């Protein structure tokens, strides 16, 4: 346990999950108090004689309320006293056997209803050893067809609507200890829902070297303070399909500009850009348009006569058409942002694409950058400056 104590101290960890401790229940209090004397602790000895999962936290910083526990997970509502964090954390240590592991997937499916927690409105983080992997490249060695365990794990991830938190460090997080023919796998991961990516949009996880363990420890960073930045100009398909698109582009392009050919070209492009930005503002927020159209239809239908009149039927059809149009535009936008293949999932498409957008942004975001001197920069301003300096040194400056 000296390694764990040193790890918590070195990485300044205030909330942790320990798995597979091999500590007997009667020794739990003594060992845990030695690891982190100021921590409060939870365990699952009531569900497994080995107490396979421990949760520890600095009680001066965190408030933790247990939602549900089993032999394979501890799920808690976690809040910081300063109000900077309020989320659900599920620490997982899945069974090795695929059949035994199914109880965990069922528990996770039912967590929201049984625990009385709305996991769509709260950030949710699932972390630990899942004892299963999601893709062939997450395991070395020969694979024998489609693995049932992999398929069931993948189905659970899709049903829960969670994705891997952006990570750095070790890809394979476990090895079997075999020196001559080692087997490496990605069994440990941190999964988060869309709300987590919305609230903690700069969060990430680092998988560190294994040390004395056969697993890589993971350290989650909630992120640095947000810096307001100007997003690059983008044209989305719903704007191209607008009835005034070609007219707006033509009017902006036809304006007379005096000067060299290059100056005229760049000036016209800027003019088109500003005109399309204005058109985009006129189109408005597509998500709000959908919500408003849905509410209008619901309000109208709730006041319909038992036998609707002809005029009411006409009005209802108009409202349905309005909602359908809004949903189509929103779907077009989200599909383009998510950059994934179309899936025929009916009315649930937009939520699926919205989560995909969040997941893609989480994967692509750049949270730190190391310069030529080995200094790691984490703010948006320093990262952009370092990138510009690197490419300036690489290609030079144009006269």
| pLDDT for position 78 | 94
Residue boundaries of the structural domains of the chain: 2-221, 237-347
Comparing 256 with 104, which gets the higher pLDDT?
104
- Report d(CA 335, CA 132) in Å as an integer: 30
Most confident of 125-139, 216-230, 346-360: 125-139
| 231-261 per-position pLDDT tens digit | 667 777 778 878 888 998 999 898 888 888 8
Q: C-alpha distances in angstroms, 222 versus 73, 165, 227?
A: 22, 11, 15
Q: C-alpha distances in angstroms, 210 versus 169, 177, 205, 217?
A: 11, 12, 15, 6
- 66's tokens: 């247990």
Dihedral, CA atoms, 261, 263, 268, 269, nearest 10 degrees? 110
| pLDDT for position 226 | 54
273 CB neighbour count, 10 Å cutoff: 13
**pLDDT tier for residue 342 given thresholds of 50, 70 and 90:** very low
Average pLDDT, the chain: 84
| pLDDT for position 43 | 95
Q: Is the pLDDT of residue 380 over 80?
A: no
| pLDDT for position 145 | 46
- Report d(CA 59, CA 329) in Å as an integer: 48
| pLDDT for position 162 | 92
Q: What is the DSSP string of 190-206?
A: EEEEHHHHHHSTT-EEE
| pLDDT for position 126 | 96
Helices 261-283, 245-253: axis angle to 10 degrees equals 150
**pLDDT tier for residue 130 given thresholds of 50, 70 and 90:** very high
Q: Tell me, what DSSP letter sits at residue 125? A: E
Check if the beta carbon of residue 248 is closer than 8 Å to that of residue 279: yes
| pLDDT for position 375 | 83
Check if CATH label 3.60.10.10 holds for domain 2-221. Answer: yes
Residue 89's beta-bridge partner residues? 76, 125
- Considering only 193-207, 306-320, 368-382, which range has the smallest mean pLDDT? 368-382
| 145-189 per-position pLDDT tens digit | 458 999 999 999 998 989 999 988 889 999 888 888 889 999 999
Phi, psi for 237 (deg, rounded to 5):
-60, -35
Length of the chain: 399
Rg of the chain's alpha carbons, rounded to an integer? 26
- Report d(CA 125, CA 165) in Å as an integer: 9
**pLDDT, mean of residues 186-194:** 94
Phi, psi for 127 (deg, rounded to 5):
-135, 150
| 258-298 per-position pLDDT tens digit | 888 888 898 888 888 888 888 888 877 777 888 888 888 88
């Amino acid at each position: 346990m000296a390694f764990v104590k040193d790890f918590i101290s070195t990485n300044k960890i205030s909330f942790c999950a320990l798995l597979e401790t091999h500590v007997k229940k009667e020794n739990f209090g003594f060992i845990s108090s030695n690891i982190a004397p100021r921590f409060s602790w939870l365990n699952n000895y009531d569900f497994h004689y080995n107490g396979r999962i421990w949760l520890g936290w600095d009680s001066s910083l965190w408030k933790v309320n247990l939602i549900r526990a089993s032999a394979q997970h501890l799920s808690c509502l976690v809040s910081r006293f300063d109000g900077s964090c309020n989320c659900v954390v599920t620490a997982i240590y899945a069974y090795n056997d695929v059949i035994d592991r199914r109880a965990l997937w069922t528990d996770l499916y039912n967590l929201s209803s049984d625990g009385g927690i709305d996991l769509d409105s709260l950030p949710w983080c699932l972390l630990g050893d899942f004892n299963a992997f999601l893709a062939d490249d997450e395991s070395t060695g020969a694979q024998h067809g489609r693995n049932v365990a992999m398929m069931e794990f993948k189905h659970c991830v899709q049903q829960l609507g969670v994705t891997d938190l952006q990570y750095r460090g070790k890809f394979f997080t476990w090895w079997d200890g075999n020196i001559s023919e080692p087997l490496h796998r990605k069994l440990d991961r941190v999964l988060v829902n869309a709300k987590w990516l919305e609230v903690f949009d700069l969060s990430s996880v680092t998988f560190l070297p294994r040390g004395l363990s056969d697993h890589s420890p993971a350290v989650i960073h909630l992120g640095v303070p947000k810096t307001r930045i100007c997003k690059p100009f983008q044209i989305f398909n719903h704007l191209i399909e607008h009835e005034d698109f070609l007219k707006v582009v033509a009017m902006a392009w036809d304006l007379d500009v005096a000067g060299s050919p290059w100056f005229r070209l760049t000036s016209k492009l800027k003019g088109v850009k500003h005109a399309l930005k204005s058109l985009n503002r006129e189109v408005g927020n597509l998500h709000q348009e959908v919500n408003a159209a849905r509410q209008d239809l619901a309000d109208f239908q709730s006041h319909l006569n038992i036998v609707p009149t002809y005029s009411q039927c006409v009005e209802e059809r108009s409202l349905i058409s309005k909602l359908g149009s809004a949903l189509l535009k929103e779907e077009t936008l989200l599909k383009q942002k998510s950059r994934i293949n179309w899936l025929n999932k009916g009315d649930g498409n937009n939520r699926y694409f919205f989560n995909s957008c969040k997941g893609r942004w989480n994967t692509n975001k750049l949270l730190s950058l190391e310069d030529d001197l080995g200094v790691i920069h984490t703010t948006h301003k320093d990262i952009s400056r370092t990138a510009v300096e690197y490419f300036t040194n690489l290609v030079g400056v144009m006269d």
